[in-house]
Amino acid sequence: MTTIVHKTVGVKRIEQICNELGLTAEDVKIIDQILEEWKNLLGENDQKVLVAIQKIGDNPNREKIMEALLKINIEFFVKSRRPDANC
């Protein structure tokens, strides 16, 4: 994936967050797809929620997927605010 979130947080760190929550490879793929679509929705939070709902669907791990997205986005926010950030 080539989103700024992937670049800033790091693919390995995203995978680590997902693993810590017990998510499957398919769940990680859903997260990647959501982040990919979100990159075009800057400031459109309602649309971001709709994308997440649509992509997650009735996945039994939906709460863990949302938790992973929240953790990933918090790390992105923190890392992108550092003076040495390359975002």
- Mean pLDDT to the nearest integer, 54-64: 97
- Mean pLDDT to the nearest integer, 47-57: 95
What band does 83 get if pLDDT is binned at 50, 70 and 90? confident
Calpha distance 80→74 (Å, rounded): 10
Calpha distance 19→37 (Å, rounded): 22
Q: What is the pLDDT of residue 87?
A: 55
Contact status, residue 11 vs residue 69, Cβ threshold 8 Å: no
List of residues 6+ apart from 74 with CB closer than 8 A? none
Calpha distance 3→69 (Å, rounded): 14
